[in-house]
Amino acid sequence: MLHPFFRSPALRASAHPVFSADFESAFAAARHAAPATAAAVPTAERLPEWNLTDLYPAMDSPELKADLDKADVACKAFETAFKGKLAALLALPDGGAALGAAVKSYEEVDDLLGRIASYGSLIYAGDTSDPARAKFYGDIQERLTDASTHLLFFTLEMNRLDDAALEAAMADPALAYYRPWVEDLRKDKPYQLDDKIEQLFHEKSNPSRGAWSRLFDETISSLRFTVDGQDLAIEPTLNLMQDPREEVRKSAGLALADTFGKNLRLFTLITNTLAKDKEISDRWRGFTDVASSRHLANRVEKEVVDAMVEAIRVSFPRLSHRYYALKARWFGKDKLEFWDRNAPLPKVETRDIGWGEAKDTVLSAYGAFSPKMADIARTFFEKSWIDAPVRPGKSPGAFAHPTVPSAHPYVLLNYQGKPRDVMTLAHELGHGVHQVLAARQGALMAPTPLTLAETASVFGEMLTFRRLLDGAETPRARKIMLAQKVEDMINTVVRQTAFYTFERDVHIERRQGELTSEKIGEIWMKVQGESLGPAIHLGAGYESFWTYIPHFIHSPFYVYAYAFGDCLVNSLYAVYENAADGFADRYLEMLSAGGTKHHAELLAPFGLDARDPAFWQTGLSLIDRMISELESMEG
């Protein structure tokens, strides 16, 4: 298995589902029709940009060079000190203390590697079109891959230790502290390969899968779409799909289809290559199902995921099909075109929301739930941990990057002053709060499985939404808020489940040979039709809209984590509404656990169990009730 740092959440691992996996919702927070410029928000406010000097002063700084050299030395020294010696170490009278000290040293090196890698990733995300940044990012990745090769032996050798001897050594507090990490590590044991093969997989990761992923990113950033005579980047083009004017949405939708179609050959090649690369890895490691490696990484049982997917799939008619039929009636149509799916409600005036108002809205919602939660979130604003403006070349979407426990998280947004941008801010700050709280677990145990990583973000959204809904001054305002929330929840639950089905079908089909663009498009149209229902007309051109969803490229089968997180939060919120006393303390304690506990253990204090089929119905029923309320307002 890969060194832990390389299995940690990547930049997009905490991206907002509506805006990063469901890109038609306008690629993260960016909602405005203007071209991507730093002055996109029509206010006099200056949007914050992050200060990365807490990591390193500059790309060419002596501090970074020193840490790169230090990382090389530390990794080699660790290998010299411990390779081939762990069994003997464990056999010592104080074997538990000795092995615990070795794990601690490993964690310290991991934190150093993570700090360097985080800086390279964040610099690159700031402008993926800059050749200097791209080279810097590539060079950093190569240096870290070379250095961390010397650490590969450790987890492999740990998993060759005798179970009984290791358990006995856990009596020592030094090793017992790392029990959750050791137990998680043992779960990887059946899928580990010989050391030389693991080294080969590790060394080729950057120039193979990593290179194809980078090609995808740089291609997406360089695409241009012609809308009404203007050549726009992907983000402002997708923003036009939110425009209140149908002719503008249609023009943007057709422009997207045109450019995607012209680049279909490249995206098909990338998809085929990466799917085959994954199949080779899965086959060598012994994973039987195309998504088994993701389930293992998420520390969630396949049966739990299957139960969730089936519960959501059978709910399509009463959720997405029903809502889009209702929305079509609002628009006076039998069917909505694909470019109308996320259109604002007709005859609804929207206003731009300034950064200060967005900040106050989210912090007040967080503060009403937990002053501690608001205090942590406030730090992101006060210490320049947020990068909010839209800039040419900036990574599209939104994310919260945890960096490493010795530093702090950073949040990237593309803020353009629309109501859903406020929800994106709430979402990413939820991730940030989670990452700050979990940092106390250290570099090895702070990372949270993806299925639980979305808990704090979606809960932060829910807190903000409920506060806004409670403050709605008119039935019309309440209707607008409910409709937006329902659409976001459908995008999170229904759409992500459909994306998961699409990925499964593509990877299964790929095992029979290369897929043509037409075949991938056929699979896409099938699952989209099933999930969206008859009220959405998926016209010509839409068959290529699978091309720009980065989760398919960077994190195969990631997307079901969004549905998991949304249903989980809906259930949590129901507990909160019924028994608010002490809930906030239990909730923050859950976030503070990081990756030290299984989902069953984390949910037990709330009386919830994801293995119970009824668990999923709680979350789905909330969406159902909201749609019912909207139907009652139809007149």
Scan for tokens 């801010």, then name that residue: 425
Going from the C-alpha of 44 to that of each of 31, 418, 601, 626, the distances in angstroms are 18, 15, 48, 37
Out of 168-172, 389-393, 510-514, 550-554, least confident range: 389-393
CA separation for the pair 48, 2 (Å, rounded): 36
Where residue 24 falls among pLDDT bands split at 50, 70, 90? very low
Rounded distance between C-alpha atoms, residue 398 and residue 413, angstroms: 5
Q: How much is the pLDDT for 634?
A: 66
Q: How far apart are CA 573 and CA 254, in angstroms?
A: 40
- Let me know: does 84 contact 157? Beta carbons within 8 Å: yes
Query: Which residue did the predictor score with more confidence, 114 or 468?
Result: 114
pLDDT of 420 reads 81
* Mean pLDDT, the chain, whole residue set: 89
Query: What is the rounded average pLDDT of the residues 153-179?
Result: 95
Q: Is the pLDDT of residue 13 over 50?
A: no
Please list, residue by residue across 168-197, b when 16 or more beta carbons sit within 10 angstroms of its beta carbon and e when fewer do: ebbebebbebbebbbebbeebeebbbeeee
122 has a pLDDT exceeding 80: yes
pLDDT at 18: 30
pLDDT computed for residue 21 by the predictor: 32
Over residues 550-604, the pLDDT tens digits come to 999 999 999 999 899 899 998 898 889 887 789 999 999 999 999 999 888 999 9
Q: Point out the least confidently predicted range of 16-25, 322-331, 378-387.
A: 16-25
pLDDT at 496 over 90: yes
Judge whether residue 545 has pLDDT over 90: yes
Residue with tokens 């730093």: 38
**pLDDT tens digits along 467-485:** 888 888 888 889 998 999 9
Is the pLDDT at 76 greater than 50? The verdict is yes
Token output for 553: 């490229």
Q: Burial of 60 by CB count in 10 Å (0-12 exposed, 13-18 middle, 19+ buried)?
A: exposed
pLDDT at residue 207 in the model: 85
Cα three-residue angle 165-169-170, rounded to 5 degrees: 120
For residue 532, pLDDT beyond 50: yes
Stretch 405-409: mean pLDDT, rounded? 96
Q: Is residue 448 predicted with pLDDT exceeding 70?
A: yes
Nearest to 288 by CA among 220, 190, 367: 190
pLDDT of residue 397: 82
Contact criterion met (CB below 8 Å) for 483 and 444: no
Residue 219 has pLDDT above 70, yes or no: yes
Residue 44 is predicted with a pLDDT of 57
- As beta bridge partners, residue 232 has 225
Average pLDDT over residues 202-226: 91
pLDDT value at residue 588? 95
- For residues 23 and 82, which has the higher predicted lDDT (pLDDT)? 82
Q: Which of 1-15, 113-127, 199-213, 519-533 has the lowest mean pLDDT?
A: 1-15
